Amino acid sequence: MQVAAKIHHRFGHVALPNYIISKTDAVSDLLEVALMLQQVGLLGSCHELHLNIIPLFETIADLRICGVIMNELFSIPFYRELLKSRGDTQEVMLVIPTATKMAVTLLPIGNYIRLNSSWLRCLKTMALNCDFSTAVAAQWRGGGPSYEAILAQPPGSVNAQIRITEQGEVIASKYSDPEIGRRNLEILIAATIEATLLHNHSDSS
């Protein structure tokens, strides 16, 4: 964390905007990071947070309880004050395990979608925004096409923006050729627009 403080001091806050917590499974994981940021001067005296604290939920067990964890976190006045300095926006990273990594059935994925749909409704009542990051696995690793993966996100989670993590081995195949890279970016943009419009239409209906 001291290195992060040095980077901010030398290059500015935009040089290192995010702190990702791998395998988040408790509210304390995020509060501990807030404490460390305070100790190195990246959390101001007026609850001004200089880094986004981003939980990463990546196992079936964690995906099942991530809504509970975040709802509990948002109920803490201290953390809500921190979010105000970040535009009342919380970024969350979700990784749906692929079939090649572990035995995945439709049941936990369905639970994940239902839990996060109810969680998103709760966010609206709290006047909070949530940015989702999604890891898109390659098809040969048990994942599906990026377009379908984005459309399959819980309603309301894609709101004109989404952060995509491409697995390392697919970067060369998708983006080494300019024309193929442009085509892949067009697919991601089109899926994001379609998911946003579909979900907003569903809400208005």
Instruction: Please determine, for residue 60, whether its predicted confidence score (pLDDT) is greater than 80.
Output: no
What's the average model confidence in pLDDT over 76-93?
A: 87
For position 28, what pLDDT does the model report? Answer: 95
For position 115, what pLDDT does the model report? Answer: 53
Using 50, 70 and 90 to split pLDDT, how confident is the model at 106?
A: very low
Burial class (CB in 10 A: 0-12, 13-18, 19+), 131: middle
Write the CA distances from 131 to 35, 39, 77, 120, integer angstroms: 23, 27, 20, 11
Cβ atoms within 10 A of the Cβ of 170, count? 18
pLDDT tens digits along 150-195: 887 777 777 787 777 776 777 778 888 899 889 988 988 998 899 8
For position 204, what pLDDT does the model report? Answer: 53
Percent of the chain with pLDDT over 70: 70
Give the distance, in angstroms, between the CA of residue 32 and the centroid of all CA atoms in the same chain. Answer: 19
Instruction: Please determine, for residue 20, whether its predicted confidence score (pLDDT) is greater than 80.
Output: yes
23 vs 143: CA distance, rounded Å = 20
Write the CA distances from 192 to 33, 102, 180, 187, 196, integer angstroms: 31, 28, 19, 9, 6
**pTM of the full predicted structure?**
0.71
More confident: 59 or 132: 59
pLDDT tens digits along 118-135: 555 555 555 556 655 555
For position 38, what pLDDT does the model report? Answer: 93
For position 107, what pLDDT does the model report? Answer: 42
What's the average model confidence in pLDDT over 87-92?
A: 83
